């Protein structure tokens, strides 16, 4: 009895199989090399450098955000208005909130992770500033540049934070006081 001999072509893996088998291998290599998208690696929004930079009032309009639509004394982005919006009482008041939120020793709550294209988080004023309320305004009228001209004072117990991918980077899209 003779054994059949194997032809070299019988040992080849069909092309269609090789192509599909390579996909998981390439994905594993990409992950090991650190090549992955925002969806694959969620991290706290406040830890992302572009979010930290865009969270500065003076940088936010250029980054594509509209934070300054909610800060009394700041100029909102072109084509927007502070009318009908809730406002932080000043750039300094907002800055104090933002700096405390960024500091894990001061805001010890769970910071929202940035994944997908948008992320939202509502935090209590107390959790960030260790006081029950933050003073601010309800704007009722604005000038041609969109800056608030008529307002009523108010007290707010929460801050809404919205993060979004603009261009190809995460930014603080906006933050505003709310109840």
| Pair 139, 150: CB distance under 8 Å | yes
End-to-end C-alpha distance for the chain, whole angstroms = 89
156 neighbors 86 (Cβ within 8 angstroms):
yes
25-34, 42-51, 87-96 — which is least confidently predicted?
Answer: 25-34
pLDDT tens for 147-179 read: 999 999 999 999 999 999 999 999 999 999 999
Alpha carbon distance 43, 51 (integer Å): 12
Give which of 124, 131, 93 is closest to 109, Cα–Cα.
Answer: 124
- Domain locations in the chain as residue ranges: 43-178
Per-residue pLDDT tens over the stretch 26-37: 344 433 433 334
- pTM for the complete prediction? 0.77
């Amino acid at each position: 009895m003779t054994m059949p001999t194997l032809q070299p072509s019988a040992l080849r893996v069909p092309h269609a199989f090789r192509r599909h088998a390579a996909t998981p291998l390439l994905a594993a290599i990409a992950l090991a090399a650190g090549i992955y998208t925002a969806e694959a690696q969620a991290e706290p929004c406040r830890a992302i450098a572009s979010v930290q930079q865009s969270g500065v009032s003076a940088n936010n309009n250029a980054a594509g955000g509209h934070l300054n639509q909610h800060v009394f004394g700041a100029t909102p982005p072109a084509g927007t208005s502070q009318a009908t919006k809730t406002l932080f009482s000043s750039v300094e008041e907002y800055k104090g909130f933002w700096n405390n939120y960024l500091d894990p020793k001061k805001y010890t709550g769970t910071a929202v992770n940035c994944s997908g294209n948008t992320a939202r988080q509502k935090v209590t004023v107390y959790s960030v500033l260790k006081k029950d309320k933050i003073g601010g305004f309800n704007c009722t009228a604005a000038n041609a540049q969109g800056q608030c001209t008529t307002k009523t004072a108010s007290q707010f117990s929460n801050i809404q934070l919205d993060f979004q991918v603009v261009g190809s980077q995460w930014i603080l899209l906006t933050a505003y006081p709310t109840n």
